[in-house]
Structure 1
Amino acid sequence: MGKKVTVVGAGFYGSTTAQRLAEYDIFETVVLTDILEGRPAGLALDLNQSRAVEGFETKVVGATTGTDGSGYEAIEGSDVVVVTAGFPRKPGMSRMDLLEVNAKIVRQVAENIAKYAPNAVVIVVSNPVDEMTALAQIATQFPKNRVFGQAGVLDTARFTNFIAETLAVPVKSVEALTLGSHGDTMVPVPSKCKVNGKPLSDLMPADKIEELVVKTRNGGAEVNNLLKTGSAFYAPSAAAARMAKAVAEDSGAVMPVCAWVDGEYGISGVYLGVLAEIGATGLKKIVETDLTDTEVAGLKEAAEAVRAKQADVANL
């Protein structure tokens, strides 16, 4: 039996993620769900009609779901579920402004995942992602290794792009890394950044690196303010799809994700952006990397900021 992946939420983020997953041609089925009647079915029809051109066989299925749990039977037996449901940010909004409104949506989605896809690995991308990941784990009651969030892959991609553009080098020559939370306490890790194997600090002055760190931290808001009608989805969907692919292929790929940290870096009991090995069971293990004292301090600061908010979500 082939693999099945579900994307919950058929907005720009969800539909683009479904497209990327279908075009990988590694799944038998991609299910796209939404509460807007007809939208997921229409997108599925459209995506299926692109198969002959793009040369993939994956079947896309659209399902309308209700807040009463109707329609969720379409996700039955999914190996991976990507949760994009919720409201995107509007210009001037922080990710935190979405906390209460999206908590209700994510809780309801998570409960239906637990009901219909009890063995799935869940990848959360709804904002604020660190808090929504914690909430999804509480609501599904899945083991913590099977619920993680997407942030680091996206933030690292943004950081990589800014470095490549600033130095006018190919993107693939840049190695970068961001940890911590998705937002104000993001911890870009300049000590792990290299260009063609050379430390970034040899190629760029510290103040310029710091400028790119700030630009990365505000990467989503910058896109948001330009679009005016929604938030980023091309880079975010690329990141989410790549994580789902690592699960489906049991690849053991190491990538920065929002994972349950239990003792690593001296931090415990919180969902936080760290490097982890990803496979069929979800999070196989957290990969501790050598960080500078400043970077570890940043990570601990991020952990405390997120911990306070994650404690609140249990009651939302």
Structure 2
Amino acid sequence: MYRTARKVAVMGAAGAIGSNVVQDLLSCGVASRIAMYDPYEPGLKGAAEEILHCAYPDADVSWTTDAAEALTDASYVISSGGAPRKEGMTREDLLLGNCEIARQLGRDIRAHAPNAEFVIIVFNPADITGLVTLVHSGLSPSCVTTLAALDSTRLRAALAQHFDLLPDAVTGCATFGGHGEKMAVFKDGIEVAGVPLAEILAGRAVNGRTMSPDEWNAIKDRVRNGGAAIIKLRGRSSFQSPAHQSVAMLKARIECSAYPWPCGAYFADGPYAHVMMAAPVTFSTLGMTAAVPDGDDEDVAALQDSYRHLCSLRDEVIRAGLLPPVADWTSLNPNL
């Protein structure tokens, strides 16, 4: 019934994302053995009780306020255990506080789950918290990723709404680089009902509708501010979509199957060296392998701008003492 009986540690399980991750792991038949961790005991106990009341068959669900207990023997880790984004905040406003949490998580993984096969970091700014976790965990970059799908799924939804089509009619949507207001929204590769977006922007209609360059720019802005829009509408940050896509990522890793959206990946060299950023990936028994995103000149220029922004955030974290200088990373994590 379940894809794996190996242990999944869900960190931040009392929160909306974490508790939904647990529910999705079970509802989607991905994992049956789950350790729920959160330092907030009343909320954690309440979330665990609700999961038990769902009466999932063959489910082995435990809960603990001890991170070491949750992580011991875990093959997989999904962490949403950072401070949430609130109205008026950017993802970067959470930078230093959540990077402290990420540093401790990395140290805890090193101590208690050194053989973890796949770690997914969800809490913002995920590109940087994921990088901090990776460096301190000692794990291979093929074993640590960040949730990076939502900007791309938001792009697909926005285009489908514009053309009054079902979302599946829109293919090839991807945002690369940072998961923030500096993300690179690629147009190369997008098709709407089989029609390349470039042709649509040149005047071709789809489903009786056209799209001007100004309308495309408005959609890009809408995607970049998609998280803020959810907060304004719901009074809290997204939780259903990040939980579901985190579980979908883990399912793809367990099955070594295709995952259609970008994932956060660390690049050790090349034009985007020493950052973790959204990129196309494949999964195998060896873990995750990333490719450098490919697009037209405009797309690549946006990606380079996003990379420079990620480097500035990374360097701010280094100055704060939460990461060592880049040249010292391999002494802390030889897998880098």
Among 175, 196, 212, the alignment partner of 2:193 is 196
Matched, 1:162 2:158: yes
The 3 A distance-change label for structure 1 pair 280 and 79 is farther
Matched, 1:72 2:68: yes
The match for 1:220 is: 227
Per the TM alignment, residue 212 of structure 1 is displaced from its structure 2 partner at its CA by 0.9
Structure 1: 5+ residue stretches without partners: 66-70
Among 145, 150, 160, the alignment partner of 2:147 is 150
Matched, 1:88 2:84: yes
Among 274, 286, 300, the alignment partner of 1:269 is 274
Residue deviations 1:289-314 (CA, integer Å, cap 9, x gap): 54101111111111111012113324
Q: Distance in 2 between matches of 1:250 and 1:58?
A: 23
Q: Distance in 1 between matches of 2:44 and 2:152?
A: 30
SS at match of 2:5: coil
Give the residue type in structure 2 aligned to 1:101.
Answer: G
The match for 1:233 is: 239
The match for 1:68 is: none
Per the TM alignment, residue 280 of structure 1 is displaced from its structure 2 partner at its CA by 4.5
The match for 1:257 is: 263
The 3 A distance-change label for structure 1 pair 187 and 162 is same
Per the TM alignment, residue 2 of structure 1 is displaced from its structure 2 partner at its CA by 2.0
Matched, 1:206 2:203: no
Per the TM alignment, residue 211 of structure 1 is displaced from its structure 2 partner at its CA by 1.0
Aligned residues: 304
Q: Which moved more, 1:244-253 or 1:130-139?
A: 244-253
User: Does the CA-based 8 Å contact 1:45-1:60 persist in structure 2?
Assistant: no
User: Does the CA-based 8 Å contact 2:159-2:170 persist in structure 1?
Assistant: yes
The match for 1:7 is: 10
User: Does the CA-based 8 Å contact 2:7-2:76 persist in structure 1?
Assistant: yes
Q: Which moved more, 1:199-208 or 1:20-29?
A: 199-208
Give the residue type in structure 2 aligned to 1:199.
Answer: P
SS at match of 2:63: strand
The match for 1:298 is: 302
Among 304, 308, 311, the alignment partner of 1:307 is 311
The 3 A distance-change label for structure 1 pair 7 and 162 is same
Q: Distance in 2 between matches of 1:304 and 1:76?
A: 37
Q: Distance in 1 between matches of 2:61 and 2:193?
A: 40
Q: Distance in 2 between matches of 1:269 and 1:31?
A: 32
Per the TM alignment, residue 273 of structure 1 is displaced from its structure 2 partner at its CA by 1.3
- Identity among equivalent positions (%) equals 29
Per the TM alignment, residue 263 of structure 1 is displaced from its structure 2 partner at its CA by 4.4
SS at match of 2:181: coil
Per the TM alignment, residue 81 of structure 1 is displaced from its structure 2 partner at its CA by 0.5
User: Does the CA-based 8 Å contact 1:8-1:82 persist in structure 2?
Assistant: yes
Q: Distance in 2 between matches of 1:302 and 1:142?
A: 25
Per the TM alignment, residue 278 of structure 1 is displaced from its structure 2 partner at its CA by 2.8
The 3 A distance-change label for structure 1 pair 289 and 272 is closer
User: Does the CA-based 8 Å contact 1:130-1:271 persist in structure 2?
Assistant: yes
The match for 1:62 is: 63
Per the TM alignment, residue 253 of structure 1 is displaced from its structure 2 partner at its CA by 3.1
SS at match of 1:51: coil
Give the residue type in structure 1 aligned to 2:121.
Answer: V
Q: Distance in 1 between matches of 2:176 and 2:124?
A: 17
Higher strand share: 1
Per the TM alignment, residue 288 of structure 1 is displaced from its structure 2 partner at its CA by 4.0
The match for 2:20 is: 16
The match for 2:176 is: 179
User: Does the CA-based 8 Å contact 1:163-1:174 persist in structure 2?
Assistant: yes
TM-score, scaled to structure 1 = 0.90
Give the residue type in structure 1 aligned to 2:10.
Answer: V
Matched, 1:108 2:101: no
The 3 A distance-change label for structure 1 pair 193 and 15 is same
- Name the Cα RMSD after superposition: 1.9
User: Does the CA-based 8 Å contact 1:25-1:58 persist in structure 2?
Assistant: no
Give the residue type in structure 2 aligned to 1:187.
Answer: A
User: Does the CA-based 8 Å contact 2:82-2:124 persist in structure 1?
Assistant: yes
Give the residue type in structure 1 aligned to 2:316.
Answer: D
TM-score, scaled to structure 2 = 0.85
Structure 2: 5+ residue stretches without partners: 201-205, 323-336
Per the TM alignment, residue 113 of structure 1 is displaced from its structure 2 partner at its CA by 1.8
Residue deviations 1:182-235 (CA, integer Å, cap 9, x gap): 11211111122112221134242222121111100000011112233x311111
Per the TM alignment, residue 7 of structure 1 is displaced from its structure 2 partner at its CA by 1.3
The 3 A distance-change label for structure 1 pair 3 and 249 is farther
Give the residue type in structure 1 aligned to 2:190.
Answer: C
The match for 2:334 is: none
